[in-house]
Amino acid sequence: MADLLMKMPTPYEPKRKNRFLLRFPSDLGIQEWWLSSASRPTITQSDVEVPFLNTSTYVLGRFTWETIDVTFRDAIGPSTTQAIMEWVRLGSESITGRQGYAAGYKRDVYLEMLDPTGVVVEKWEMQGTMLTTVNFGDLGMDDDGIAEVTGTLRFDRAILLFWFFNSLFSLNLILALLFTYLTLKYVKGEAFLFKKCYTRYLI
């Protein structure tokens, strides 16, 4: 059993930069296929000096999660620009100047990395995420490229969820292996019992 578990996943299969999804709450209307680029969370830990006589030692102080820059393809329909702007308006209404409550514009966003078969192998939960910067992109008569919307995400904290226990596929795989192990153990026990009885009968 332990040997089987050690073989999941395969001994060497690197994660790929282009196999990821950024999942937003459905009420925001932000589509997964709009995403062009993003980054995984970055944590910065400060150091605190502890002076002693003519020298110093250092310990860790406060830590902060850095912002994440994301780039979206600007689709005509459903409109990327409209969906992003609606999220902005939850915090700051551009027409009336009204400010929103944090509970209204902060969301939990999930970043998932996938293996070659589409199974989640790494999952980040970014809690209390909000948009701090939005750039609706440059245009040019001599540029026929895809229009993009870029933004900056600020979140309160990021939690790395271990894929082994958060993937339904992995859970099913564990159960299947456990069932196989118990079955083989049962069959082996039955075979031993049969051999013992057969030997006794011959004697």
Contact at 8 Å (CB) between 47 and 64? no
Q: What DSSP designation does 118 have?
A: S
Query: 48: Cβ–Cβ under 8 A, 6 or more apart, which residues?
Result: 58, 59, 60, 61
Where in the chain are the domains? Answer: 9-163, 167-203
Determine what percent of the chain falls in helix, strand and coil, rounding each to the nearest 5: 35, 35, 30
Cis peptide leading into residue 78 (ω within 30°): yes
For 8, 10, 113, 183, 184, the CA distances from 4, given in Å and listed in that order, are 7, 11, 23, 15, 13
Q: What is the per-residue pLDDT across 138-169, written as a single tens digit (0 to 9) for each?
A: 999 999 999 999 999 999 999 998 655 444 44
Integer Cα distance of 58 and 65 in angstroms: 21
- Of 83, 64, 56, nearest to 154 by C-alpha is 64
Contact at 8 Å (CB) between 126 and 109? yes
- Of 180, 92, 85, 179, nearest to 136 by C-alpha is 85
* Helix (H) or strand (E) run with residue 172 in it: helix 168-202
Q: Of 2.30.110.20, 1.10.357.10, 1.10.150.130, 3.40.50.150, which CATH number belongs to 9-163?
A: 2.30.110.20
Residue 175: is its pLDDT beyond 90? no
Which residue is associated with the tokens 């057969």? 198
- Rounded to two decimals, the pTM is 0.71
pLDDT for the residue 16: 92
Residue 7: is its pLDDT beyond 70? no
Contact at 8 Å (CB) between 175 and 162? no
Q: In this predicted model, which residue has the larger pLDDT, 155 or 10?
A: 155
Q: What is the per-residue pLDDT across 56-81, written as a single tens digit (0 to 9) for each?
A: 999 999 999 999 999 999 999 899 99
Indicate left, alpha or beta for 129 from its phi (over 0: left) and psi (-120 to 50: alpha): beta
Q: What is the per-residue pLDDT across 114-142, written as a single tens digit (0 to 9) for each?
A: 988 888 989 999 999 999 999 999 999 99
